[in-house]
A and B are shown apart, each in its own frame.
Chain A
Amino acid sequence: MNPSIQSRLTRAALAAGLCCFLSLGAGLASSVQAATQGGTLVIVTTPEPNLLTNALSSAVTVTEVGTKVYDGLLEYDMDMRPIPSLAESWEVSPDGKTVVFKLRRGVTWHDGRPFTSADVQFSLLQVVKQYHARGPGNLGPVTAIETPDEHTAVFHLEHPYPPLLKGLSSAEAPILPKHLYEGTDIRNNPANNAPVGTGPFMFKSWDRGSAITLVRNPNYWREGRPYLDRLIFRFIGDSGTRSAVMENGEAQVATFGSIVPAEMKRLASLPNLEIAEGGYEALAPILSLEINNKKPPLDNRKVRQAIAYAIDRKFVADNIWFGFGKPAVGPISSVYASSGIFTDSGIVRYDTADRIERAKRLLDEAGYPEKEGGVRFSLIHDVSPYGEDYRRLGEYLRQALGKIGIKVTLRNEDWGAWVRRIYTDYDYDFTSGWFVGMGDPTLGAQRLYVSRTIKSGIPFNNATRYSDPEIDELWARVAVEQDTAKRNEAFHQIQRKLTEDSPLVWLLELHMVSLQSKQVKGLITSPLGMRGGLYEASLEK
């Protein structure tokens, strides 16, 4: 081992490790009792993925399939603290610029070849960092990965990067077999559609347009796992039929996006079905309105604040998302409460009792008095093409903003046109969408707020074109700050400053739960939820 690297585990980390060891132990004990071996679990999800290697695409369904086949270096407990996966242990050097991962021994690829540190080096630097949309964020400062032996990977970083340990799951940074990818055209490698990994399930077949079948990996390194013999992902175009498939028991699990919330609520009340709670914490998704901050009158902070006041988040949570979400207070989700990153103190709250009066007052102050018929000005809302819920949201927004004198017209376009309009042409007033926070806000939320991500043509970057030097500086600080208290304080400042400037309007922290048959046990055991390995899932006979 490299002697220059001091092993240093802080007391906090030790305590955390112990904690997660205990909780893991408890989890194991309970699942040993409940788990039944065997069976086929059918999962309904949508849309059908276009390829199966989630190292090359961060699309939701690609990740759902890929994470069963691949492992990552790390996994996370429910509080997003790292726990071992392909890496058995890891040490961060005191200067934060070197991280040593000790890799698990005796792990083999589904084709029988041994897994080594060379796979880690190749996958992360040659594939994930180059091709995965969040690769540059997750692995940004990693300049080199040294492999002193087959079971050690030494990461060299440009600067300390605390978020690094939050983005190494199989969902974000899957480890691919170097021997199948090296020296090939990575994007068109045949293994992309017939993936080979080290994970709990092996790829068997892909019936295009219908289903993907994965089978149990008998040599999986987690002793006795997975419990299921087979995982089948089914793709059905119509949401009504997807509900029917759950209702008559042809499928046992449906992912959040595949069933509309209203239906989800109805189906969960049937005797054989229930909600599988949790499983979205690693995504930390927030439903928001993106506002064109460069376009008058929306360039005026008071106007954006008025819009934020006008919306009844509780109503949206209860009547459009049917309780699958809770009102959001700012850009940083309360999912991060346990790590101290989240705060709701000292921020501008938009859920006050007199919010309508405040909104009207702000619009008056901004110079937009009520004119004939109570209308101050008109806006177009681009309904995002995510489905029915977003159309209903659009209809609600029209009413809610109408109350404060903003006349809203709705515009519906399909994916291609919408992405082009919002993220390339910036030809919009405001639109809606859900944005991920990821394991650390630096990895997910950040890109919506900093000046350097104002890049025309790249979706889900800073399309509001909000730009503020103080905010830029704060985000730069949290990326490198190793002192937890100072880092959390900087996040709190971000939360305060952004709620005041209101570049976006944050509506709900979405609870992206799944629907499951009551026969299914142990489905959601990690914050990755359906984007985890599902090796603890079992089917009661």
Chain B
Amino acid sequence: MRTRTDLRWIWVIAMAVALVLPWIFFDWKTSRHSGFVLTMLSEIGLMIVFALSFNMQMGQAGLLSFGHAVLFGLGGYTTAHALNAIRSGGIWFPLELVPLIGGLGGLAFGVVIGYIATKQRATAFAMITLGLSELVGAAALMFMTFFGGESGITTDRMIESSLVGATYSAPWQVYYLIVFWVFVSVALMWLHTQTPLGKMANAQRDNFERTQFVGYDPQLIRFWQFVVSGFFAGIAGSLYTIVYEIVTYDALAASKSANALLASYIGGVGGFFGPVLGATLVVLMQSGLSLLSNSWVLYIGVLFIVMVMYAPGGIVGILGHHAPIARIGRLHELIVPYVRILVPGLITLFGFVLLVELTSFVTIGATQGKKFKVGSLMIDAATAQPWMLAIGALLIGGLWLRLASRGFMRVWDGLIEEAKTLGGAAR
């Protein structure tokens, strides 16, 4: 268990990094920030809040929701309407506090939706959220007044009222506003896990009967946890509206909900900080990979499936498994075994990616008039060679990986055994 001082340092370091990041990508020649980087960093920030709020339901309360984006999106729509109302009504309301409005919107809708959904647990809950997600998504396309139909609601963040006198015309000002709200939200969500509701949410996830026999109604616990998670999802949605100045139905769509699920799961749903890692990774893959390849959705999907099958604890889970070995100071013994599986792993990955890209190119890329290029190397997808290379790498790499992983597991199991006998598996 980390000590309190360790955790505080991590917060400070993270805050410092977040504040400094835009300047690393600053173009000193033209004196301009990279708009692309700032937007991506802002997206990471709000996805972190979104994914953490999702994990309040999934990881902490055992509620798998397929409709979390509904709360996110509704927070966004609420904010858009609020911003438009502030402008046209000439009301003074600082932009810095606008995310609160989104949060309250998410909270209010969370009460309504939560009331219906949390009557059930587990699979039935998941189904209700699926149904509600489709319902609200379809409604968003249909109705003009609140949702603006297909074109959504546009707004303008420059409402000329600010607590610090900023106009928010420059992306870096928006970014720092996002950073502020991300840190506040993450801190509040973390504190929530140390409160009665937070703990009892974990309790009813693990054992609802015992929860009843310490006097709590598990259904009410689920309800309140849902509502609080809706508040933070609403804040995330609000940040989204502020960054993009438009909110459309895909802010509430099923694919947005899937994003939260993927981000949380890949990062790791047990513990608290997994979704932070996951959200960062998913946004980087979306922004970065999508520039390089059409098939980035496929890669994320495959990564997700692989994690579900072999690493259900996510990245944080994988790191956590190393803890006992680190405690007995034998982590370095894993370096060579890791290299041994890394090589065939990379070959298999190479083969897979090449195959995917070739196939994608033949059906989609070619019709779009693109050429298949890797750096400066031109690849003709019509010939057999690249295909043979891809399939060969995939097969050989795969078989080699299977062999190597057995050796790895032997070393791993041995170290875990030693860790158990020497240090004890828990303190």
A, B co-complexed: no
